[in-house]
Structure 1
Amino acid sequence: MEIVVIGTGYVGLVTGVSLSEIGHQVTCIDTSIEKITKLKKSISPIYEPGIEELIEKNVAANRLFFGTDLQAAMKNKKIVYLTVGTPQNPDGTANLVYLEAAAIDIAKSMVQDTIVVVKSTVPVGTNEKIKKLIEENTQFNVAMVSNPEFLREGSALVDVFEGDRIVLGANDKKALETIAEVNNAFAIPIYKTNLESAEMIKYASNAFLATKISFINEIANICEKTGANIEQVSTGMGLDSRIGSKFLNAGIGYGGSCFPKDTAALSQIAGTVNHDFKLLKAVIEVNEKQKLKLVDVLKTEVSHLQGKKIALLGLAFKPETDDIRESASQVIIENLLVAGANIHVYDPIAQAGIQAVFGDEIVYEKDIESTIIEAEAVLIITEWDEIKAIKPAIFKKLMRQPIVLDGRLIYNKAEMSSLGIKYYSVGDGTNASYKTDY
C-alpha cells in the first residue's frame, strides 16, 4: 500500500522505515529541510542502532521516500500516519499544538476520503477531536485509527519486528480492517479496540512499567536498611510468572521521553474526570527522589564538594540512545553544581545533548580514563557496555581516592573491595556504612 508518514522524529522515522521494510511504499514528510536533506542521504537525525542501514536499503528499493511537500505526497494516497510530538506542558498535560496543526495540514491536502492513523501518544478522546478538526477543514470523509507505539529507545527496531502486540483502535470497522491489513506482514498479534481504549492502553502500559521501577527502587532502599541485597530480591521476585523479571532492575530512576511524560499526563487525565490517582502520584514522587540517590551518598563520603573533581560516567537516560530527557544525569549535575563541584563527564553518544544544557559549566571528556583521573569520586549513571567493561583496577590506579558510586549495579562488589575501592551500589544492604535516610 501507499502510505504517508507525517513527522520524522523518533516514532515517525521508525514507523516509516519499518512499514517500507515490510513492502509498503512510504513517503515521510517533515517541515525541517535539514532533516529531509540528511534522510535523502540515508543519514538519520536520531541515534538508533540499525536505522540507517534500513533507510539506505529501502530508499534503494524505491519503497521509502522523504520530502517536505505534504500536498504532493498525499496526491494518490489514502492512508496517513500522524507521528508528531506531543510534549509535556508545565502542568503535566500533553501539548497537542503540533498534532492539531498537522491535522489541519492533512485536511487541506486531502483529495479523497482518508484514513488517519495516530501513533502520537495522546489523551483519551483526542482522536475524535482530531477527526472533528479535519472534517471542519475538508469536504472529504476521514476515519481515525489509534495505533499507539511501544518502542524502547535503543531497541526500537527489535520492538517493531518482534513486538508482543500491535494495538489498533477505531470506531470505523472498515478503517480498522484496512490498517490491520497494513500491519499483517509484521506477523505480530493484532489487538483491536475502540479509539478510547487504544489511547488508554498506551498510557496505562507505560504507567504500569514505571510503577514496577519505582516499586523495586523503594524495595532497594529498604534493602539498604535491612541487610538484604536487591539483586537477589528482584531475581527471586522475577521467578514468579505473575510478576516477571522485566523492569525490576533497581537503580536511580526512570527517564527518557515516555515514562515521565506519560505518567504525568495520565495523572492529569485522571484529574479531569475527578479521580485522585494516588498510586501514580507516588510513583512519580519516588522516581524524582531516586534520581538524587547517588548525590546523597556522595555527600556522606566526600565532604565540602567545592572545587573537588567528581566524575560522571554515562549521561543518557539508558544505553543505546542519545536521549537525555528527564535523565538522572541532569538532576545530579544541577545539584553538584550548586555544591560547587568540578564536574567531569563522559558518554559515548549523549554528550552533545548535555552540553546544550550546561554549556561550559562542566568538563566534557573524550574517554573514561581522562574523566576519572584524579577524581574524588566516580558516579555510574548509564550502563553502556564500554562502562560495564571497565577493569576495576583502573579506578584504583587513576583516582585520587577510589570511591565508586554505582547507580546501575554493574560491578562486582567483592572484586572492588579486594582492590581497596570504596564501592556503593543501590540496594546493597550488606554495607551498613552507606545506609541513608531513604
Structure 2
Amino acid sequence: MKLAVIGTGYVGLVSGVCFAHLGNEVICVDKVNEKIEMLGRGEVPIYEPGLKELIDTNVEAGRLRFSTDLADAVNKSDIVILAVGTPSLPNGEANLTYIKQAAAEIGAAINDYKVIVTKSTVPVGTNEKVAAIIAEQTNQRFDVASVPEFLREGSAIRDTLNPDRIVIGTTSEKAQEWLTQLHSPLTDNILVTDIRSAEMIKYASNAFLATKISFINEIANICEKVGADVTKVAEGMGHDNRIGRSFLKAGIGYGGSCFPKDTQALIQIAGHVDYEFKLLKSVVEVNQDQRFNVIRKLEAILDDLQGKTIAIWGLAFKPETDDIRDAPAVEIIQTLLQRGASVKAYDPVATSNFSRLISHPQLKYCDSKEEAVANADALCLLTEWKEFAEISLLELEGLLRKPILIDGRNVFSEEELSQTSFIYYSVGRPNMNHGVRDESPVLLF
C-alpha cells in the first residue's frame, strides 16, 4: 500500500519505518528541514534501538523516503497518517494546533479518495473536527479513522511490529477494509469500533497504566514504614491474573511524552463534560510527589545539601531513550541546585538533550559514570540503564567521598550490598544499609 506519514517524531518515524518494513511504500513528511536533511543523510533525530538499521534497510530497498512536501506525499498515497505532536497547553488540554494545520494542508492537497488516519493522541471528538477541516478544503471523497498507537519508547520497533492489539475506529466499510489489510500482517487481534471509542481507548489505557504505577509507589511508601518488601508484594500481586505483573515496579514515578500529558488531558476532557476525575487527579499528585522522595532521603542522611556534591546517574525518563520530557531528573536536579548542592550528572545518551534544557554553574555534565561519582558526597540513581547495574559496588564505594546511594529504581540487591558499607536507600524495600542503620519499622497490631 502507499502511505504518507505526517510527522517524524517517535510515533510517526517508527510507524512509517515499520510499515515500510512490511513492504509498503512510505513517504515520511515533516516541516522541519533539518530533520528531513538528517534523515536523508542516514542520521536519526531520535535515539531508538534498531531504528537506524531499519531506516537504512528500507531506504536502500526503495520503500521509504523523506520529504518536506506534504502535498506531493498526499497525492502519491492512498492512506495518510497524522502523527504530529499534541503537546499540553498550560491548562493540561491537548494542543491541536498542529493537527488542524496538517488537516487543512491535507484537504488542500487531496486529488482522489484517501483514508485519513489519526495516530496522534487526541481528545474525543477530534477526528470529527479533522473531517470538517478537510471537507472545507476539498470536494474529493475521503474517510477518517482513529488508529491510536501503543508503542513504548525504548522498545518502539518491537511494540509496533508485535502489538497486543490494533484498534481501528471508523464508520466507513472501505476505510475499515483498507486499514485491516494494512495491519493484518502485525496481528489477528484487531478491534474495530466507532471513532470516539477509539480515541477514548488510548487515553483510558494510559491513565490505567499510570494508575498502576502510582498505586504501587504508594504501596512502596507504606512498605518502607512497616518493613515489608514492595518487590515481593508486587510479585505476589502480579500472579493474580486479574491484576497482572506489568507496571508494578516501584520507583520515582513515570515521565516521558505520554503518561504525564495524557493523564492531564483526560482530566480536562472529563472537566469539559462536568465530571471531576478524582482518582486520576490523585494519580497525578502521587506521581509528582514520588520523585521528591529522593530529596527527602538525601536530606535525612546529609541534613543540609548546601555545599554538597551529588552525583546523578540517569537523565532520560527511562532507559533506552534520550527523551527527557517530564523526566524525574529535571525536577530533582533543579531542587538540588536550588538548595545549594553541586551536581555531577551522567546519562549514556540523554546528556545532550538535558544540557540544552538546564545550564547552571553548579551543574557538570560528565562523560562517564565513574567521572560523575568521583569524590561526590552521594549518588542518586534515577534511570535504570544496564551499565549502572553492572558496576562493581566495591569499585563504586571507592570512588565516592561518602558511601551514600539513593537507588530510585531498586537496581541493587541485598547480596550485592552485603560486602559493602553503603548507606543505601531504595524504594519500598527493607533496610539494606550496611553503614548507618535506620530505626526499626513501626509494628502495627
What TM bracket, shorter-length normalisation? over 0.9
Matched, 1:243 2:248: no
Contact 1:429 1:435 in 2 (8 A): no
SS of the equivalent of 1:359 reads: coil
My pick for the range that moved more, 362-371 or 407-416, is 407-416
Aligned residues: CA RMSD = 1.5
Bigger shift: residues 299-308 or 315-324: 299-308
- Which residue of the partner structure matches residue 372 of structure 1? 373
* 1:433 counterpart = 2:434: no
Amino acid at match of 2:209: L
Other structure's SS at 2:215 match? helix
- Asked if 1:43 is matched to 2:48, the reply is no
Shift of 1:436: 11
Question: Structure 1 107/80 Cα, relative in aligned 2: closer, same or farther at 3 Å?
Answer: same
Instruction: Give, in angstroms, the shift of residue 77 of structure 1.
Output: 2.2
Q: Determine helix, strand or coil for the equivalent of 2:5.
A: strand
Kindly indicate whether residue 227 of structure 2 is the aligned counterpart of residue 227 of structure 1: yes
Whole-Å Cα distance in 2 between the matches of residues 179 and 168 of structure 1? 7
- The Cα shift of 1:240 comes to 1.0
Q: Shift of residue 434 of structure 1?
A: 7.7
Matches within 5 A, 1:256-405: 256-361=256-361, 362-405=363-406
Q: CA offsets per residue over residues 26-65 of structure 1, 9 Å max, x none? A: 1111111111111122211111000111111111111111
| Rounded Cα–Cα distance in structure 1 between residues aligned with 2:397 and 2:127 | 57
SS at match of 2:52: helix
Paired with 2:239 and 2:220, the residues of 1 have a C-alpha distance of 18
Q: Percent identity?
A: 49
- Looking at structure 2, the residues matched to 173 and 197 of structure 1 have their Cα atoms a distance apart, in angstroms, of 17
- 2:206: which partner in 1? 206
Structure 2 Cα separation of the partners of residues 76 and 372 of structure 1: 54
Q: Please tell me the residue identity of whatever aligns with 1:116.
A: I
* Aligned positions of 1:108-123 closer than 5 A: 108-123=108-123
**Are 1:206 and 1:262, in contact at CA under 8 Å, matched by a contact in 2?**
yes
Provide the C-alpha distance between the structure 2 equivalents of 1:74 and 1:94, rounded to a whole number of angstroms: 25
Q: Give the superposition deviation at 1:417.
A: 4.1
What residue is the counterpart of 2:217 in the other structure?
217
3-state secondary structure, aligned to 1:286:
helix
Structure 2, unmatched stretches of 5+, are none
What is the alpha-carbon distance in structure 2 between the residues aligned to residue 418 and residue 388 of structure 1? 16
Tell me the CA shift for residue 360 of structure 1: 3.5
Equivalences, count: 437
Cα distance in 1 between the residues matched to 2:380 and 2:344 = 10
Greater Cα shift, 411-420 or 395-404: 411-420
Q: Structure 1: any 5+ residue segments left out of the alignment?
A: none
Cα distance in structure 1, aligned partners of 2:295 and 2:375: 19
Task: Please report how far the alpha carbon of residue 435 of structure 1 lies from its aligned counterpart in structure 2 after TM superposition.
Answer: 9.0
Assess if the C-alpha contact under 8 Å between 1:93 and 1:268 holds in 2.
yes
Q: Which residue of 1 aligns with 2:159?
A: 159
Q: Which residue of 2 aligns with 1:98?
A: 98
Deviations 1:118-150 (A, max 9, x none): 000000000001100110111212211100000
Letter in 2 for 1:422: I
Q: CA deviation at 1:76?
A: 3.2
| 1:8-38 CA distance string (max 9 Å, x none) | 1111101110111111101111111111111
Cα offset, 1:194, TM superposition: 0.5
Does the 8 Å CA contact 2:165/2:187 hold for their aligned counterparts? no
1:265-315 deviations in Å (ceiling 9; x for gaps): 001101111111110000000000001111110000012211211000011
Please tell me whether residue 29 in structure 1 is matched to residue 14 in structure 2.
Answer: no
After TM superposition, what 4+ stretches of structure 1 lie above 6 angstroms from structure 2? 434-437
| In 2, Cα distance between equivalents of 1:161 and 1:435 | 49
- Give the letter aligned to residue 254 of structure 1: Y
**Equivalent in the alignment of 2:173:** 173
Per the alignment, in what secondary structure is the counterpart of residue 116 of structure 2?
strand
SS at the partner of 2:357?
A: helix
What amino acid does structure 2 have at the position aligned with 1:383?
E
